[in-house]
Amino acid sequence: MKDQILSSLDNPVQLERLYRENKSAFKQAFNSLYPDLENKELSRFWNARLNFSKGELAWGSRKDLVLMLFLCLIAVVLAKLPSLLSINEEFYYPRNIGFIVFPVLSAYFGWKNKLSGGTAISIAAIMLISAIFINSLPNVATSHTLILSCIHMVLMLWCLLGVAYVGSYKKIRKSGWRFLRSMAI
């Protein structure tokens, strides 16, 4: 492997091919050769690529912890609302399950990404209007309108969470896939 790396130092495509064929052998061979190759730009790039460390795990500040605890408390109160106010659980949970989690997460990401006032207000207003709408529908258990509204409400709340996650409506085209990838993991 060392000979192949040395013969391919001026051919980045070949180096990439060697790397993809056997990553661990390539890294081991390259690291043993690197002290002799430090002066070449391509070898510095490969050294940075192969030996990159992400650094310390950042847990956030004390403000982050206080905010998370406060938001978790809000989520718990929302989840326990039927038992606190004697609301019928069969009425409450199908309609409001998304409102237990998504507004709290949206508030956290909105605070973390420093959303503009207009974006934050529009997300909050849409969520509030949606909560009023879904809870004002008639209590008919077999209603297709109610079932479809409950399903689509969760999807809409998830989209609003995506807006808060990427930072604004304008960044959705650029960063929307980042949000979807992070939620899938």
List pLDDT tens digits, range 19-66.
888 888 888 888 888 888 877 877 888 888 888 776 665 677 888 889
The confidence score (pLDDT) of residue 107 equals: 94
Q: 100 and 94 in contact (C-beta within 8 Å)?
A: no
> Do 134 and 150 meet the contact criterion of CB atoms below 8 Å apart?
yes
If DSSP codes are grouped into helix, strand and coil, which group holds residue 141?
coil
Dihedral of the alpha carbons of 141, 91, 96, 130, in degrees to the nearest 10 = 70
Residue 174 pLDDT > 80, yes or no?
Answer: no
Tell me the mean pLDDT in the region 58-76: 88
Is the pLDDT score of 139 beyond 90? no
pLDDT at 175 over 90: no
Q: Please state, for a pLDDT cut of 70, what percent of the chain lies above it.
A: 87
- Which residues, other chains included, contact 157 with Cβ-Cβ below 8 Å and sequence gap of 6+? 98, 99, 102, 103, 106, 127, 130
Q: Which of 152, 162, 94, 96 is closest to 123 using CA atoms? A: 162
| pTM of the complete model | 0.61
Q: Please tell me the predicted confidence (pLDDT) of residue 179.
A: 61
Domain chopping of the chain, boundaries? 2-50, 62-184
Rounded Cα–Cα distance for residues 114 and 172 (Å) = 16
Q: What is the reported pLDDT for 80?
A: 94
What pLDDT shows up at residue 143?
Answer: 80
User: What single-letter amino acid sits at 151?
Assistant: I
Amino acid at site 42: L
CA angle at residue 68 from 67 to 74, to 5 degrees?
Answer: 90
Using a pLDDT cut of 90, give the percent of the chain over it: 37
SS3 of residue 124 by DSSP: helix
- Reading the block at residue 140, the tokens are 């008919």
Show contacts of 10-19: CB within 8 Å, 24+ apart: 10/42, 12/42, 15/42, 15/46
Q: How far apart are CA 34 and CA 43, in angstroms?
A: 7
For position 78, what pLDDT does the model report?
94
